[in-house]
Structure 1
Amino acid sequence: MKQPISIETQQHALMIAKSTQKEGQTKEQTKLIASGIEKGIAEYKKQQKAKARQSDKARKQQAKHKQHAQHDEPELELEFDDSNQITPVVWGLICLLALSWLCFAWYIWG
């Protein structure tokens, strides 16, 4: 559906057409120029509205994405192995600790 051009836009277009009117130009020619300017202004406004809608949609989508990202942030969860196995690295550390205590005891009493 074609939207009617506002009276304000028509007046603005007519004012522009009159300000650029050439010598010997008839009223009909000026009105034709004014109608072309009206269409240009209407098209410009339509494009600006579309850009505004698009940017608003992108802004809302970005806010929604940011909100989901904050909600979906995983909490720190430490996973422990339920099996009671002592790995070779742990055995090595236990041996080093025991050896250091034995050396310390030998130093103190020796």
Structure 2
Amino acid sequence: MPWFLYLIECADGSIYTGIATDVDARFDKHVNGTGARYTRSRKPLRVLASFALADRSSALRAEYRVKQLTATEKRALAAGTRTLESVLPTPAPEETDATSASDKV
């Protein structure tokens, strides 16, 4: 089952970042006050964007990185002028079979 990173615009101009398996259902919870404490004190207006990720672990890592961004950078991400991949760290290169074989000797 895919997980999603989502961005919600709030009435005070801030951008809330979260993860869920069902973005629409999660947004409804934010709107009715049973979502995050952050959105209880700021009126959630709309979902700006959502991004599918392979699993919960990937979604959590992406959420951590996106939460480090400013509201302006999050808006660029939502508008598509910045990619999610540009926010995430590049994965370490995998070892080749030759390298791992020589390490085992």
**Higher relative strand content:** 2
* Fold conserved between structures, TM > 0.5: no
Structure exhibiting the larger radius of gyration computed from Cα positions: 1
Calculate the TM-score normalised by the size of structure 2: 0.30
Does 1 or 2 have the higher relative contact order (CA < 8 Å, sep 6+)?
2
